[in-house]
Structure 1
Amino acid sequence: MAETSRKSTTTDVEMEQKHQHSIQISSPAPPPRQLPPPPPPLPLKSRNHRNLWGIIGERKSNNQQKDKSSHHSIKMPKAPPQAPPLPPKSGPKKPSILYLSEEQRDNYLNICVPLYNAAIKGDWHAAEEIITDCPEVINTSITKRQDTVLHIISSTKHTHFAEKLVKLMAVEDLELQNGLGETALCLAVASNVKMVHILLRRNSGLLRIRKNGDLPFMLAVRYGDKHMVEYIYSKTNIDTEKWYYMDQKRILESCLSLGLFDIALKIFTHCKDDHKIETDILGYLANSPSAFDGTTQSVIRRLLHTILPGSNDNSKVAEIVRLIWGKIVKQKYEDIWKLVSGQSSNEKDEGFLFAAARLGNYKFIRELLKLYPDITWGKDGNKHTIFHIAVIHRHENVYNLLYDLGSKKFAMKDNDGNHILHLAATKPAQSRLNIVSGAALQMQRELLWFKEVQTRVSPADRRQVNNEGKTPQELFTEQHADLMEKGESWMKETASQCMIVAALIATIMFAAAFTLPGGTNDDNGKPIFGKRRAFIVFAVTDAISLCTSSASILVFLAILTARYTENDFLVSIPMKLMVGLVTLFISITTMMIAYGASFFLLYPKSMKWIPVIVTVLAGLPVILFAGLQFRLLFDVINSTFNSRHLFRPKRHMLY
């Protein structure tokens, strides 16, 4: 009996496997087949037998049900249950693109294009008719860039159009962004303040919607309109804003570059607990000398700043520096020095102390030294102090801080064996030479620097050699040989051209002295118009022009025949050039005055307008000469007379 049971079980299992295999085949359903009848019930001898027959019976019952259903269809495995849908993410709000499809081409041409033209022209009546006939167009894209009509009008100055348009729009529709991620406010910040006021009055939340990560406030700062920045800042509650690190840094730097120091100070006060922001702003100010001078200065203030360095400080920027630096100086000296020298993160980085010295930002350095003078004599990787760097880059304002620190002598050498006089003997970058006009005046400025630094070196150190075996004087001669040649060539060319002009003027005025206007009396040989005031003016100006042009010729001749040694460039040659240019200018001016006076003698009072017009036109050459040669003449006079004040300033630079 047990053997029969095992055979039946084996047969049933094989039949079940064949049946399952036939179901998995994706082919037409096979014809129905007869199953063998179930075996007769067997006596139950044990619990195990009962369980076995129960399992077999269940399998047979299942197989029969599957076989019946297989006559109709093949059951495929069920798909796994799907997860519940996620809630929609809050992304940018986009306008409808209904009219941008090809199917809506006619509606686009009949609705969107006229609405766009009406917005550009500011024609509200035409736009109102379109919006009345088609209300959904008010928040629909009307350009391929997905601009709505509000985007279009926000970039114009038609504020009356915008004011009426926003009244028809829902508040949330003002937050729609075009294909570039711009809201209407992002475009309005480049337009005018009133347009921004209209949008923010309707929806103040526009200030927090970014365009590619940039806030509208940052966009306004980038466009550089101070009035716009000030207005948006007035509408921003900075205490509730959570700006990112880059937001704070870029906004602060942009405000400082625009001269919005009041706003920069307020923003910095808001985020002053961020140490990285503080260090970055300090580095930015070190690299921005113009921030301390301001951006909107009158001519008088600029002239005062030129005469009295340090008299034009910007207190707001200096206050920011003092706030940051006042917190840093509370650290250990080692940590402070790593920060100012650039050794905190990367040894190749330039610290903001030496960056300020390289750029001549003496006002920044002054604020640092006032609060922490211990960094004064710190050295960078090349063993250069800030005064060595000032000499290398020819920044006299930084160098002049020495005069508030006592008469210190420099004896230390850098990695190349150069002391500070060797650095003064090295020719600087061309950009620093170009602060004065002409190679001759550049050579004069170099000699002034060399002579000044000599006073900071002992007589014994003046003869020391560097690693290349050169003394400072030898290095100066070698480095400036080409500049001397250029200076000589420039002076001779300038003198030659000016001498030609002076010779022509002298020739003309000499001939005019013997060809008097109106002629002379045949009886006594006296001038006919000798008693008229115009004749006196003519005679005097003719004589002045002749004498000054002759003097100018002699001065320029002396320039052509000069020896052109190094010391000649210091005083002699610049002085001759200055005298020659001044006398030439006087001769041209008096020549034109004499020319105009002669017309007053030849024309009667009834035709007085003719000599007036001629005299006015005669002033044109004088104005042209003064305008074209003013920079050269100013540099010559400044280098000759004010060079004595280039160093040793009259007022204290540090305290």
Structure 2
Amino acid sequence: MGNDENGRCSQYVSLEKHIHEGEWDAANQFISSNPEVVTAEISIFGNTALHIAIFEGHMNIVEELVKTMSEENLKIKDAYDLTVLGYCAVVGNIQMAKCIIGKCRTLLSIGNESDDFIPVVLALTYNPHGTEMARYLYSETPQEDLMPGNGSNGAMFITRAIYSKAIDMALCLLKSYPKLAIALDGNGRSPVEVLAGMSFTYRSGNRLVYWKQWIYNSICIPLAHDTNQIPISVQKSGMEKCGQARNIKLARGFVCNLLKFLEIDQIYELKLLHHQSKKLLLRMCEVLPGLNFQQLENGKVFEAIIKAVKQGRVEFVTEILKACPSLVWCREKSTDRNLFMLAILHRQDEVFRLLLRYPAKNPHLATVDNDRNTILHIAAMFEPSARRNTVPGAAFLMQREVQWYKEVESIVHPSVSERTNTIGKRPLELFIESHKELVKEGEKWMTGTASSCTVVAALIVTIMFAAAITVPGGNKQETGLPTFLNEKVFMVFIISDALSLLSASTSLLMFLGILTSRYAEEDFLKSLPKKMIVGLSTLILSIATMMITFCASLSIILPGKSWVVIPVICLASVPVTLFTWMQFHLLIYTVTSTYGSRIINKKAKYGS
């Protein structure tokens, strides 16, 4: 056989083609004439015929090739150090994996040479949809292959299971080997560090709308969980409604359609994920007591709690500090900032309130970082990524920044406000300097919103003033009084017209006040939001009463024409509803951010 330029036998090209195209008869004829070819590298990437058949998904060829190969032949690796079982793990074909494992179980313990990852780890590492394959391989893999001290496979399996939302598998392995919580995976990260940064594993990382929140709270997680089981609380209520139905299939169909419409399945899976994640976290926390400083550092526990504080994972911080209270003293290496400083810098109010409950909070509040920044200096800094997506505009972000500064200022010693950092800046000076651009953005947002609303309010004032002068039906020539003065609907017209005119005028004045504001930092705290609240609420009222005025006028000039009046009245409610729907959330947010709960609850007895 002559060799080609790639060093392969020229005849292998045809065999490779047959395998790729699933032509087993032609491939088998070639193999029968050349039995040694089953172990040969027939592609430029060092693949054997079985590697290629697995990649192409030809189950029949895989079964035939496995029959002809010995256990040693099945252990051959390709150019990427993958065995045929490793290929199955990456591709995600469980049936092929079963076929190969039936012939050679030792492949379950053979890793690739570069990372030494065994197949069960490869399934979670290189296959984004490899959860089911990993479940099968995990059930077959000897657990000692994943134990601590036997490479990084155990830690890698847990971290990848967390990434893949397969928390139950991670929890199962961690129950057997608790020390894997602080073992390092192939990327130098520990499971406890990875869990700290996963937003989907915590309720605080998943903001649900109010009706989904209600469903979330009402769902019960059964102790013996079955993933295909309808949530107990929902199942019970659904069967109570449909229990008397003669046709059980229709009842079940109704319940299933209702659950699908309300997205209960997804909410149930989310709550189950949070439930499993908490159990995993509690299992990890059992390992922490008794560990020394070096063990905590090597296990990335310090990095884990710092990451959780920055990202606002209050559930993680709560449990890990319960297990190891001394972690409250850890500091970020690069900046020498403590957890209190980091919570303030990243505007994590829930975490900060939690930390304030610790009796030794005063030493933390009095400390400084590498640049001699006090905790008030930290509050004066602007971290652009900190909770920016939770506010509807730059003006409210600026309001939140001022609130943070004021709240922190209220809990530190008065002398802190006069201390300077390494560049000679006092906290207030640093606040003004670091928020210059945000003030400009807030001013632009406020003036843009106020300008748009001013135009609408001015139009309503003009229309309502004209309507008050030219009343429907005109005036009597003898007295000059309105023709329909004694009609009840006319009084509705006059009152709603007056309310619309007055509320639109009030709104106009409020928005003009916003446009002429000085836009100092303090203005964003109370002054501007108050004007926005009054302006928006009166503008919504003016639009609603304007529509009432229009409907009353129509009723006056078209008496007895209800077939015209009623549909028009219904259509008149559409613009009011649309405008209210678009602006109401802004109004509610403005009210809650201005008059809602404070960042620091002054009534709470921190440290008690």
> How would you bin the TM-score normalised by the shorter chain?
0.5 to 0.7
Indicate the RMSD between aligned Cα atoms, in angstroms: 5.5
Superposed CA offset, 1:359-397 (max 9, x none)? 333332222221222232344444422112222222222
- Give me the whole-angstrom Cα distance separating, in 1, the residues matched to 2:207 and 2:391: 22
Q: Name which of 278, 286, 301 aligns with 1:326.
A: 286
TM-score, normalised with respect to structure 2: 0.64
Offset of 1:475 from its aligned partner?
2.9
Q: Which residue of 2 aligns with 1:466?
A: 421
Deviation of 1:170 after TM superposition, in Å, equals 6.9
d(CA) in 2 for partners of 1:290, 1:515: 61
CA spacing shift, 1:138–1:272, aligned 2, 3 Å: farther
Distance 1:317 1:184, change over 3 A: closer
Identify the residue that residue 599 of structure 2 maps to in structure 1. Answer: 646
Where do 1:452-463 residues align within 5 Å?
Answer: 452-463=407-418
The one of 338, 341, 344 equivalent to 1:385 is: 338
C-alpha contact (below 8 Å) 1:413/1:420 kept by paired residues:
yes
SS of the equivalent of 1:265 reads: helix
The reply to whether residue 352 of structure 1 matches residue 304 of structure 2 is yes
1:16-37 Cα distance to aligned partner (Å, 9 max, x none): xxxxxxxxxxxxxxxxxxxxxx
- CA, structure 1 residues 199+351, in 2 after alignment: closer, same or farther (shift >3 Å)? closer
- Contact kept in structure 2, 1:596 and 1:614, CA below 8 Å: yes
Task: State the 1:112 CA deviation.
Answer: 9.5
Gaps of 5+ in 2: 1-10, 33-37, 218-270
1:366 aligns with 2:324: no
SS of equivalent to 1:558? helix
2:571 and 2:338 map into 1 onto residues whose CA distance is 58
Q: 2:119 aligns with which of 211, 215, 223?
A: 215
Task: Quote the Cα distance in structure 2 between the aligned partners of 1:199 and 1:654.
Answer: 60
Rounded to whole Å, the distance in 1 between the matches of 2:464 and 2:175 is 70
The equivalent residue for 2:256 is none
The amino acid across from 1:491 in the alignment is M
> Residues 20-59 of structure 1: matches in 2 within 5 Å?
none
C-alpha displacement of 1:325: 3.8
1:54 matched to which residue of 2? none
Opposite residue 291 of structure 1, the aligned amino acid is T
Counterpart amino acid of residue 203 in structure 2: D
1:118-169 alpha-carbon deviations (Å, 9 max, x no partner): xxxxxxxxxxxx98999869999xx99999999999989xxxxx99x69996
Over 3 Å counting, the alpha-carbon distance change for 1:320 and 1:526 in structure 2 is same
Q: Is the 8 A contact 2:77 2:84 kept in 1?
A: yes
Q: Give CA-to-partner distance per residue, 1:216-270, whole Å, 9 cap, x none.
A: 7744676555974686468545637659745444442233234332222113334
Residues 440, 569 of structure 1: 8 Å contact kept: yes
CA deviation vs aligned residue, 1:540-580 (integer Å, no higher than 9, x gap): 76555444322211211222233434332211211211222
Alignment correspondent of 2:143: 239
245 and 470 in structure 1: CA distance in 2 versus 1, 3 angstrom threshold: same
- Which structure 2 residues correspond to residues 517-596 of structure 1 after superposition, within 5 A? 519=473, 526-527=483-484, 544-591=499-546
Q: Kindly tell me: are residues 339 and 597 of structure 1, through their superposed partners in 2, closer, same or farther at Cα, counting changes over 3 Å?
A: farther
Name the structure 2 match of 1:252: 158
* Equivalent residues of 1:166, 1:199 under 8 A apart: no
Aligned 8 A contact 2:347 2:387 in 1: yes
- The 3-state SS of whatever aligns with 1:478 is helix
Q: Indicate if the aligned counterparts of 1:574 and 1:640 stay in contact, CA closer than 8 A.
A: yes
The letter of the residue matching 2:169 is I
Report what 1:93 is aligned to: none
Shift of residue 504, structure 1, vs aligned partner: 1.7
* Letter in structure 1 aligned against 2:294: D
CA contact (8 A) 1:539 1:594 kept: yes
CA deviation vs aligned residue, 1:28-85 (integer Å, no higher than 9, x gap): xxxxxxxxxxxxxxxxxxxxxxxxxxxxxxxxxxxxxxxxxxxxxxxxxxxxxxxxxx
Cα deviation digits, residues 340-364 of structure 1 (max 9, x gap): 788xxxxxxx733333333333332
Which residue of structure 1 aligns with residue 249 of structure 2? none
How do 1:22-421 residues align onto structure 2 when only pairs under 5 Å count?
99=14, 172=67, 208=108, 215=119, 218-219=122-123, 224-225=128-129, 228=132, 232=136, 236=140, 239=143, 245-274=151-180, 276-277=183-184, 280-293=190-203, 299-300=209-210, 314-332=274-292, 334-335=293-294, 338-339=297-298, 351-381=303-333, 382-406=335-359, 408-409=361-362, 410-421=365-376
1:494 to 449, 466, 471: 449
Opposite residue 377 of structure 2, the aligned amino acid is: H
Query: 1:492: Cα distance to partner?
Result: 2.6
Give the direction of change, closer, same or farther, for the CA distance of 1:320–1:149 in structure 2 (3 Å limit): closer
Query: Secondary structure at 2:329's aligned position in 1?
Result: coil
Q: Taking structure 1 as reference, are residues 603 and 200 closer, same or farther at Cα in structure 2, changes over 3 Å only?
A: farther
Preserved CA contact (<8 Å) 1:328 1:336: no
Equivalent AA in structure 2 for residue 253 of structure 1: T
Per-residue Cα deviation, 1:507-564 (whole angstroms, up to 9, x for no partner):
33444556677x46989954599677xx888777655544432221121122223343
CA distance in 1, matches of 2:549, 2:118: 66
Q: 1:504 to 1:187 in 2, by over 3 A?
A: farther
Is the 1:340–1:353 Cα contact (8 Å) retained in structure 2? Answer: no
- Residue 423 of structure 1: aligned partner: 378
Secondary structure at the counterpart of residue 469 of structure 1: coil
The 1-side partners of 2:552 and 2:26 are apart by 77
- Once the two structures are superposed, what CA deviation does each residue of 1:315-335 show, in whole Å capped at 9, x if it has no partner? 533443343343343133x43
Question: 8 Å contact 1:422–1:475 — kept in the other structure?
Answer: yes
Instruction: Kindly state the Cα deviation for residue 280 of structure 1 after the two structures are TM-superposed.
Output: 0.8
Closer/same/farther in 2, CA of residues 418 and 216 from structure 1, 3 Å limit? closer
**Secondary structure, in 3 states, of the residue corresponding to 2:287?**
helix
Of residues 501-510 and 597-606 in structure 1, the stretch that sits farther from structure 2 once superposed is 597-606
Greater C-alpha Rg: 1
Aligned to 1:448: 403
2:225 alignment partner in structure 1: none
- Count matched residues: 511
Instruction: Provide the secondary structure at the position in 1 that maps to 2:190.
Output: helix
CA 1:617–1:355: 2 relative to 1, 3 Å: same
